[in-house]
Amino acid sequence: MKKLVCFAIMMAFSLSSFSKIERPKLVVGLVVDQMRWDYLSYYYDKYGEDGFKRLLNEGYSFDNTLINYIPTVTAIGHTSVYTGTVPSLHGIAGNYFVINDKATYCCNDTSVKSIGSNSKEGQMSPRNLLATTIGDVLKISDDFKSKVIGVALKDRAAILPAGHSADAAYWWDTSAGHFVSSSYYMDKLPEWVEKFNKENHTKPKFNIRESNLGVDMTFKMALAALRNEQLGKHDVTDMLTVSISSTDAIGHSYSTRGKENEEVFMTLDKGLSEFLKALDNEVGKGNYLLFLTADHGAAHNYNYMQNHKIPAGGWNYKKTVKELNAHLQEKFGKEKIVMFEDNYQMYLNDSLIASAGIEKEKVVKEAVDFLEQDDDFLYVIDNKHATEAVIPARIKEMLINGYNHKRSGEITVVPRAGYFGVSKPSPDYKGTSHGEWNPYDAHIPFILMGWNVPNGSSNEPTHIVDIAPTICAMLHIQMPNSCIGDAKTVKINH
């Protein structure tokens, strides 16, 4: 009898403990564009105590987080973080890709209009995205009561993370010098956004992305959204997605070393400190779950590396496309069979090839054979037959994950380590790029902090697609509908 009573008490306690699913009041996703994982340590001694150091001292860092697809570019990275899947499934195959032989910008949508300006910079939406995001499944979980808002300077960095059912996404219209949205989300800007734009703007055409002001403006807008939309103050969990774009623009121009890159990361660290303090005050310390990651890393400048006797170089992709087209014209009698190169992929003109009655596989083989003669490339792969390619297993998996047969290019080139595409290689070139499989592009930070997160770190193999299912598991909600990642367990270090 005593055993039965104990069992009944245990069952009652168990049932009562699950009578209400505990969730944080707010989830904040923060993506730092072009942040290499090693910036956490490279700049560590220069960071203040309340920014990145606070994340590391209070949060949990997955130090071995890698991107598991190529190309490693902005639109794909932001999408994969929030969908838990790869371009093969979510359809965002690059910043630009091809749909029906037409070059397509990832978020372009001429069926919508700009809200907040009269330019084309607001004609954007998530309609090219084929998968759901964390925000989408969060909304589904509570019958669309949650608020989900995305903020970034780049349209793709605001739109794709927020997902299909977001309440709003706001991005910077350079031609107007302030934040805008599109008619996909709303008919007019909320009063608080109009007020924000009057008080915070730049001259039209000012390149805010390539300035430290871009970091401050992004955090300022994110906090304005937090306060004016009362995020984290509802009966359900809300979500705010934020992306810092200036780190990418400055990195492209000035590379991974030097005062410009250091200054933007010091600005970011200070802004992060103020942002975390504001979250503490507005939502309550321990009431929000924040994660920080990156969409991709970056290579060191090849002139910098060469000066230190490390093999590196710039691949002139424009020259390669021109020479390849000339070769294919000689073989098949048609001009511009290759429409363009992007994402280290060659995009062929299917319509031209079909109308000429040429067998496409012959064109692809001829192109691959020609490109393989270039010493800049370790491998040249026919993407449709990547499973047959004699290449390292890791690169093969990344290539297959990144290939969307309706949107990607037909051929991928894999340059030598340290070599990356530039429009005009020069001994004076001081910038950088990204997009390749190598650790400098694929190794990214992933840090959790806040609600139910202990301090610690792990070197467990983790991938960018594991971020979404990890967040969803913590929230006790279903993972996004095309998710292939695995939820990671936060283990307390001993």
List active site positions: 74
Q: How many CA atoms lie within 13 A of 249 on its CB side?
A: 15
Amino acid at 287: N
Burial of 281 (0-12, 13-18, 19+ CB in 10 A): exposed
Q: How far is CA 45 from the centre of its chain?
A: 27
* 316-319 CB contacts, 8 Å cutoff, 24+ apart: 316/422, 316/423, 316/424, 316/425, 317/341, 317/421, 317/422, 317/423, 318/423, 318/424
Determine the Cα–Cα distance for residues 233 and 251; give it in Å rounded to an integer: 37
Task: Look up residue 301 and give its DSSP letter.
Answer: P
10 Å Cβ neighbour count for 10? Answer: 10
**Strand partners for 449:** 290
Q: What are phi and psi for residue 175, nearest 5 degrees?
A: -70, -25
Alpha helices in 191-345 (DSSP H): 191-199, 213-228, 246-254, 259-282, 302-307, 317-332
DSSP 110-121: TTS-EESSSSGG
- Parallel, antiparallel, or unpaired: how do β-strands 238-244 and 288-293 relate? unpaired
The H or E element spanning position 97 is: strand 96-99
Label each residue of 17-36 as H, E or C. Answer: HCCCCCCCCEEEEEEECCCC
Residue partners of 18: CB distance under 8 A and separation at least 6: none
CA 425-429-431 angle, 5° bins = 110
Amino acid at 102: K
* Alpha carbon separation from 121 to 177, 182, 189, 209, 385 (Å, rounded): 11, 9, 15, 14, 37
Determine the Cα–Cα distance for residues 411 and 344; give it in Å rounded to an integer: 8
Amino acid at 99: I
- Parallel, antiparallel, or unpaired: how do β-strands 456-458 and 60-62 relate? parallel
Amino acid at 444: I
